[in-house]
Amino acid sequence: MDERRTGYLLTVLLLGQLVLVAIEGARSTRSRTYAEMIGMRVLGPMARLVTAASGGAVAAGHKVELQGQLLDENRRLRRDVEELRLRLLRLGDVEQELARLGDAVRYSAPLLGEIRAVDVVYADYASWLRSLMLYTGSQPAVVNQPVLSSAGLVGRVVVVAGPYAKVQLITDRAASVGAMILRTRRQGVVRGSGQEGGGLSLEYVPVSVDVRPGDSVLTAGIDGVYPRGIPVGTVVSVEAGGQLFHKIRLAPAVDLGALDQVYLLEHAPLPQQLVKAVPNARR
């Protein structure tokens, strides 16, 4: 091919990609392209292989050390299980009481839904375009499915390609979560800063509201993606941002750098009235 034709091809390729980036950049939600899904299907197994190999290497390296620690760990875990059983018993009582009180005022709190453990096969939480790729096995994830860890909210699924799913972390520059401050129940929007360190900010909280460092922030269940009550982060600093709203910085509840397994929230239950009104809706 001569240089002129190569130049034309270059122009077409660059313009095509420019349009693709512009369209995606203008949208608030991520759209999936077939090329990206094909890419995930090709690169996903490689990422899984590397994760498995590195896991094996680390395990082999620590084998002797691990054998020595196994008894201690076993003892500690048994103690943890006992404590958790006791806590579960207490929570069972609380749950029954909540249900009884709910019945009295004809209110049913939305349930969190079932969770499913999946493996993280690729995690880049340090760079500007941070991302997380999951291997979900035979049951694929669903776009917008919330992703949690035992400590709190991780993000949501944005692209699904067979058994692989790409997650938008809550610290991503494009992420936003409807949230509330636990102590005051005041709602706002948590946004990812996208900056180094992976901080979060809580926006649209009026200056008249009492916010203190150390306050816990949970999902508010108002964005249609995340159910209510999942820990998002803790208030680190509160500054006077402008005339109307506080400038609040949060530390994420989850250490995103230490994730090797996360949980997919299987489904957010729909309100009963909506289920009755739309009988064929996916539940």
Binding interface with another protein (CB under 8 A): 1, 3, 6, 9-10, 13-14, 16-18, 20-22, 24-26, 28, 30, 33, 35-36, 39-40, 43, 46-47, 50-51, 54, 122-131, 133, 158, 166, 168-169, 172-174, 192-196, 257
- Nearest approach, Cβ of 20 to another protein (angstroms)? 4
Beta-carbon-side half-sphere exposure of residue 142 (alpha carbons within 13 Å)? 12
Query: Of 50 and 81, which CB lies nearer to another protein in the complex structure?
Result: 50
Q: Which is nearer to another protein, 24 or 266 (CB)?
A: 24
Closest CA to 254 of 200, 214, 182, 203: 200
Cβ atoms of 264 and 115 within 8 Å: the answer is yes
Q: Which is nearer to another protein, 5 or 185 (CB)?
A: 5
- Contacts for 275 with CB less than 8 Å, ≥ 6 apart: 281, 283
CB of 188 to another protein, least distance (A): 17
- Report the Cα 198 to chain-centroid distance in Å: 13
Which CB sits closer to another protein, 200 or 218?
200
Burial 26-35 (b: 16+ CB within 10 A, else e): eeeebeeeee
CB of 226 to another protein, least distance (A): 18
**Closest CB to another protein among 47 and 238?**
47
User: Exposed, middle or buried by CB within 10 Å (0-12, 13-18, 19+), for 116?
Assistant: middle
Query: What minimum distance in Å lies between the beta carbon of 260 and another protein?
Result: 10
- Least distance from another protein to the Cβ atom of residue 4, Å: 11
Residues 6+ apart with CB under 8 A from 95: none
Which residues neighbour 192 within 8 Å (Cβ) at sequence distance 6 or greater? 169, 170, 171, 172, 173, 174, 175, 176, 198, 200
CB 167 within 8 A of CB 147: yes
Q: Which amino acid is it at 235?
A: V
| Minimum CB–partner distance for residue 61 and another protein (Å) | 13
How near is the Cβ of 114 to another protein at its closest, in Å? 27
Residue with smaller CB distance to another protein, 73 or 255: 255
Cβ contact 165:133 at 8 Å = yes
Considering beta carbons, is residue 43 or 112 the nearer one to another protein?
Answer: 43
Q: Please tell me what DSSP assigns to residue 206.
A: B
